Structure formats: C-alpha cells, structure tokens
Amino acid sequence: MRKTFAVDPKIDFVIERFIDAPKHLVWEALTKPEHLARWYMPREWGRVAKCEMDVRPGGMFSIDIAVGDGREFPNLGCFVEVIPQERLVWTSMLFPGYRPAVFDDVPITAIVTMASEGSGTRYVFTALHRDENDYKANMESGWAEGTKIAVDQLVEHVLSLK
C-alpha cells in the first residue's frame, strides 16, 4: 500500500480491519451502489434512501440518508483517486467534476486502502479533517461512532458475499 499523506492523530480518524475475504469483494462492496446501500448507514440510525456513484476521478458519489423520523439528508462529493482494488479517495469538499462544494456539514477527505494479506484483505479507512475544530465537531456529533458501526457492517456484508 502506498501513502501520499502522513496521518496526524490530532485531526485524522483511522479505522483498520482485517477482512477474511479477497480484495475484489471488498472493492465491490465499496463501489457498487446496491452493496454500499446495505452497509453505509448504521441500521439502527436509518438507511440509505438513494445512492449513485460514478467511480472515476472527478466522478460523483451521492448518498441520501434517511433517518428515523423520515427526514432525508443528501451527501454529495467527488472521487479524487481510483485505483481498483487498491485505493479509493473521495471528498465532500468537492462536488462532481472537481467543482468547489458548498454545504453545512463538516467536510472530510476519505482515503481507503486495501492490501492482500493471506487469504484476506487489510482494509484501512482514513478520514482527513481540515483542522482540530472539524475533527472535534465530528467526534462530538456521533460521526465517528457511526463510521465504526458502518465499517463493522461493511465487514459483515463482504463476508456475506463469499
């Protein structure tokens, strides 16, 4: 795996998991809307109401989240780097086509790396924040807890694909 950034524990959030499944299944779960909709939102918190993805640099990811009371929250961003079965980078700081984003949420850039390890995959999710205030806001909002639950659901879903 290659890294083009240095993790700063004051502003970056990292989750690492071993998934007992080959990389191609992990990649499929990350890049196909029908799979992403099954794991992306913590089930007890809501659901993915709509998901569209154009998995290429500059391409769109659009994930609408429906919460318990029925309200829907759109999430729109842009893929920055796509190396199949190795690295996927997207950000909420850009809209599709690399257009500057305007929104009310805490922006992140997410970097997912995958590497074969024995019969499985080493999966690393890193969320980069602009500064300590953004990081703190995400930690206090429940975002980190929800992200951990979602990654657990990702692992469960990938294992179901075997």
68, 46 in Cβ contact below 8 A?
A: yes
Mean pLDDT of the chain: 93
Locus of tokens 């075997």:
162
CATH 3.90.1150.10 fits 13-161, yes or no: no
159, 60 in Cβ contact below 8 A?
A: no
Domain positions in the chain are 13-161
User: What share of the chain has pLDDT > 90, as a percent?
Assistant: 86
Q: What is the mean pLDDT of residues 128-133?
A: 94
Range with lowest mean pLDDT among 27-31, 35-39, 53-57, 104-108: 104-108
CB count within 10 Å of CB 26 equals: 24
The SS3 assignment for 143 reads helix
- Spatial CB neighbours of 69, under 8 Å, sequence gap ≥ 6: none
Tokens, residue 152: 């657990």
Rounded to 10 deg, the angle between the 143-161 and 132-141 helix axes is: 70
Q: What is the mean pLDDT of residues 15-21?
A: 97
Cα–Cα–Cα angle for 91, 5, 95, nearest 5°? 15
Q: So what's the pLDDT on residue 154?
A: 97
Range with lowest mean pLDDT among 77-91, 96-110, 132-146, 147-161: 96-110
DSSP H/E element including 25: helix 23-31
The 10s digit of each residue's pLDDT in 77-127 is: 999 999 999 999 999 999 999 999 987 788 999 999 999 999 999 999 999
Residue 20's nearest CA partner among 113, 111, 122 is 122
79, 89 in Cβ contact below 8 A?
A: yes
More confident residue, 103 or 48: 48
Q: In the predicted model, is pLDDT for residue 1 greater than 50?
A: no
CA 71/CA 90 separation, integer angstroms: 25
The 10s digit of each residue's pLDDT in 56-69 is: 999 999 999 998 88
82, 88 in Cβ contact below 8 A?
A: yes
Q: What is the mean pLDDT of residues 26-55?
A: 95
Q: So what's the pLDDT on residue 70?
A: 82
